[in-house]
Structure 1
Amino acid sequence: MSSNAKIVLRKKTNKEGLYPLAIRITKNRRSTYQYIGHYIELEDWDEKNIRVKKSNSNSENLNSLLSQKLSEANKALITLQSEKKDASANQIKKEIYSSANSSTFFELAQEHLDELESAEKLNRLSTDKAWVSFIIKFNKSKQLSFQEIDERFLKKLMLDLKVKYSLSETSIMNILVLIRLLFNRAIKLKIVSRELYPFGSDKIRIRFPETTKIGLNILEIQRIENLKNLSPSETHTRNVWLYSFNFAGMRVTDVLWTKWSDIYDNRLHYRMNKNSKLLSLKIPEKIVQILEFYKDGKRSEQDFVFPELKKANLEDAKDIYNKRKTATKKFNDNLKSIAKKAEINKKITMHIARHSFGNIAGDAIHPLMLQKLYRHSDLKTTLNYQANFIHKDADKALDSVINF
């Protein structure tokens, strides 16, 4: 029986509940899979036409990538079928993808960056590209095998990043996370032996320093709401910030992507940009007032509520990314002056709206409900938003000892 390759959606989900795309290689009714490295929701897969539906924001790029991968696999199969007629599915897979077995660290890093660009994850692309450049500077060459990345190499890298480039502990840990991700990929591809894995409790440990992002309290938010002496730009920034806060700390990317068509039945229905999860929230009265402010600029139901993306080329992911990045910087600059006018000494950014919601939620909202509102896959992530604010039990314990 001849061998064949086909694009499939595997039914085993990752931690986020998304399904992996893969190339299935079959020979004599036995199959093996080569994963593409991208995940989607089940409802975004068109089983009949074997493609990603348009409901997925990255459908065009993903379908293009899938066609490319399938074409590469089929070309390799044609060659192999004439040379190794009795090869098993696993042997065929090994032959097709064996070129990866000699890949260097930076070759695999480039594949990772290319995947991020194809998936239009431009924020992550920008960050990881910067991390890779630091590793190149340290290594002074793009020739680096995974076998060379041992504990000694990583310790010297960490010291160099801290002393020579003055990177923060958090940035250094993020670089190690990227190296670990690529090292794990190299192990799966059999580029390097698992025995050489340099990370673990008895080797290099990745420990992020504790960070404190203090959210605003109710009185501080009320001061911002009641400010009168704001410029038009500051007023717009306040509206966007309060929109984010009142929708449970909605991320600024999702705020700017809000369209009038997302608002119906007195609810906001949207898909989170970060993890593609669907969310539906009741529209609070304070949000109704903000929406009224922008109704005069409404051109159609498909128009954006806020102006930042109205002139963006929606076919160009980089243009969208740049406009969002520029807008966020402008918002954060305006929030500095808003904080000063409101006599608030805390640092306020767009992301602090999210921490402020967690601050005020405190122990009034169960962490599991806050997790649901935030759509976090891991409860630990949610607890980080409340960790700095749940003081009641600790305060009571302290008082029980010292109040005598």
Structure 2
Amino acid sequence: MSASAKIILRKKPNTKGMFPLAIRITKNRRSTYKHIGHYIDMEDWDEKNLRVKKSHPNAKSLNSLLSSKLTEVNKGLMNLQSEDGDVSATQIKRNIYKPISSLTFFDYAKEHLDALEADKKMNRYTTDTALLTYISDFHKSKELRFQEINLRFLKRFKTYLMGNRNLTETSALNVMVLIRLIYNRAIADKVVSKDLYPFGKGSFKIKFPQTIKIGLNKKEITQLENVQNLSEVQRHALNVWLFSFYFAGMRVSDVLFTKWSMVYDGRLNYRMSKNTKIVSLKIPQKAMIILKYYENNKNGADDFIFPEMKKADFSEAKDVYNKIKVATSKFNKNLKSIVKKAGINKKVTMHIARHSFGNIAGDSIHPLMLQKLYRHSDLKTTINYQANFIHKEADEALDSVVNF
């Protein structure tokens, strides 16, 4: 008796009441099943035509996957039966329908975190670890298969994040970006079919809401530079902030990692911690004044200019990360009182140094030059970032209409 294969929806639901799609292989009235790895509601299954109904958001891709898997099994059946007419249904399953991998989403997530820890990217490691707890709390299990992450899952998850967990839309979408990253890696490793990819056109779209980036203007920078009656810790916090600003909004971690050996020939030469790119910038006269402020504490060319990292254990990435985090928190706390003394009515944090550089640059510096200063890989990134600070044309257009 010849063997046959058929697409079915098995009537054994999982803990969430969803039913598994499978290929049933029958030989000599004995059947074995190979699950596709995807679950759907009973109401989304067309029993007569053996296909997923259009009511399911991923109907097209699922039906395409089912068709390709059935074709794959039928070809295997013909090959095996021509070689051995007595092959059993179980042997057929074992020989022609081996799973590519049993790795789950959280297996891949662990590999992602391990890689971040190995690369000593502790900021990203800590952030992504926290984001993954939202996913496990929602799913209530570490056995999350990639095939379960469909449009419906993502919509429900976003509702959970913004409703139950009170996250902003931006924070909720950051979790989705992490899911997308891990899903793409699974597709690259052929753990899950790209036909089931739940992101992009016709599926779940990740579109961040526009945010307003506010930087200081020239007058406010001058107010900070001339502020008086600061304590020693306040003066230090302001020096670090201004140093960042003078070097095109240098990231706080890069500021704290700056060593005296990086200062030569009137230039600052350093490697960015975010993307390892080499940066060489002329040292402005205002930055020279800050360097002189710390020169008496210099302990050799390989010493750090600023004191925060001098006692860090660089063999322990977590210790380095914690020292940066604590230092940044202290800087931001002191900046709050400094701007009050300077008479500035804007919120100022270490990151605002970067926004302030962009704000003052406006549209007066060519985007290609700004791309070089910011060390963006893509000019589009620079243009999109700088668009937050270019208002002149819109202001003039508004004035031309209302000033009559």
**With structure 2 as the length reference, what TM-score do the two structures score?**
0.74
Partner of 1:159: 159
Q: Distance in 1 between matches of 2:284 and 2:307?
A: 21
Q: Distance in 1 between matches of 2:375 and 2:176?
A: 27
Partner of 1:292: 292
Partner of 1:281: 281
Partner of 1:54: none
What letter is aligned with 2:393? D
Q: Distance in 2 between matches of 1:362 and 1:182?
A: 37
Asked if residue 209 in structure 1 is aligned to residue 203 in structure 2, the reply is no
Q: 2:101 is paired with a residue of what secondary structure?
A: helix
Q: Distance in 1 between matches of 2:99 and 2:309?
A: 42
Q: 1:101 is paired with a residue of what secondary structure?
A: coil
Matches within 5 A, 1:4-403: 101-403=101-403
Q: Distance in 2 between matches of 1:250 and 1:272?
A: 9
- Please give the per-residue CA displacement for 1:152-201, whole angstroms capped at 9, x wherever unaligned: 11111000011110011111111111111111111112211111111112
* Deviation of 1:111 (Å): 0.6
* Deviation of 1:99 (Å): 9.0
What letter is aligned with 1:241? W
Q: Distance in 1 between matches of 2:188 and 2:281?
A: 41
Q: 2:248 is paired with a residue of what secondary structure?
A: coil
What letter is aligned with 2:185? R
Q: 2:389 is paired with a residue of what secondary structure?
A: coil
* Deviation of 1:313 (Å): 1.4
Judge conservation of contact 1:355–1:385 (CA < 8 Å) in 2.
no
* Deviation of 1:261 (Å): 0.4
- Please give the per-residue CA displacement for 1:278-332, whole angstroms capped at 9, x wherever unaligned: 0111111101110111011001000000000011112222211111111011101
Q: Distance in 2 between matches of 1:129 and 1:351?
A: 23
Change in 2 beyond 3 A, CA 1:301/1:158:
same
What letter is aligned with 1:356? S
Q: Distance in 2 between matches of 1:355 and 1:194?
A: 39
* Deviation of 1:358 (Å): 0.4
Change in 2 beyond 3 A, CA 1:262/1:141:
same
Q: Distance in 2 between matches of 1:284 and 1:270?
A: 16
Q: 1:333 is paired with a residue of what secondary structure?
A: helix
* Deviation of 1:140 (Å): 0.7
- Please give the per-residue CA displacement for 1:42-90, whole angstroms capped at 9, x wherever unaligned: xxxxxxxxxxxxxxxxxxxxxxxxxxxxxxxxxxxxxxxxxxxxxxxxx
- Please give the per-residue CA displacement for 1:91-131, whole angstroms capped at 9, x wherever unaligned: xxxxxxx9971100101100100011011111110111111
Judge conservation of contact 1:101–1:189 (CA < 8 Å) in 2.
no
What letter is aligned with 1:183? Y
What letter is aligned with 2:145? S
What letter is aligned with 2:276? S
* Deviation of 1:380 (Å): 2.8
What letter is aligned with 1:240? V
Q: Distance in 1 between matches of 2:148 and 2:158?
A: 15
Q: 2:280 is paired with a residue of what secondary structure?
A: strand
What letter is aligned with 1:182? I
Q: Distance in 1 between matches of 2:100 and 2:280?
A: 43
What letter is aligned with 1:358? G
Q: Distance in 1 between matches of 2:351 and 2:236?
A: 16
Q: 1:102 is paired with a residue of what secondary structure?
A: coil
What letter is aligned with 1:346? K
Q: Distance in 2 between matches of 1:371 and 1:102?
A: 43
Q: 2:382 is paired with a residue of what secondary structure?
A: helix
What letter is aligned with 2:266? N
Q: Distance in 2 between matches of 1:299 and 1:150?
A: 57
Judge conservation of contact 1:234–1:335 (CA < 8 Å) in 2.
yes
What letter is aligned with 1:379? L
Judge conservation of contact 1:150–1:198 (CA < 8 Å) in 2.
yes
Q: Distance in 2 between matches of 1:122 and 1:249?
A: 21
Q: Distance in 2 between matches of 1:139 and 1:231?
A: 50
- Please give the per-residue CA displacement for 1:228-286, whole angstroms capped at 9, x wherever unaligned: 11111100000000000001111101100010000000100001110000011111110
Gaps of 5+ in 1: 1-97
Partner of 2:75: none
Q: Distance in 1 between matches of 2:372 and 2:334?
A: 31
- Please give the per-residue CA displacement for 1:346-389, whole angstroms capped at 9, x wherever unaligned: 11010100010000001111111111100001223222432222
Judge conservation of contact 1:100–1:189 (CA < 8 Å) in 2.
no
Judge conservation of contact 1:243–1:287 (CA < 8 Å) in 2.
yes
Q: 1:356 is paired with a residue of what secondary structure?
A: helix
* Deviation of 1:212 (Å): 1.1
- Please give the per-residue CA displacement for 1:16-44, whole angstroms capped at 9, x wherever unaligned: xxxxxxxxxxxxxxxxxxxxxxxxxxxxx
Q: Distance in 1 between matches of 2:310 and 2:367?
A: 36
Change in 2 beyond 3 A, CA 1:100/1:293:
farther
RMSD (Å) for aligned C-alpha atoms: 1.3
Judge conservation of contact 1:128–1:178 (CA < 8 Å) in 2.
yes
What is the percentage of aligned positions where both structures have the same residue? 63
**With structure 1 as the length reference, what TM-score do the two structures score?**
0.74
Q: Distance in 1 between matches of 2:274 and 2:214?
A: 23
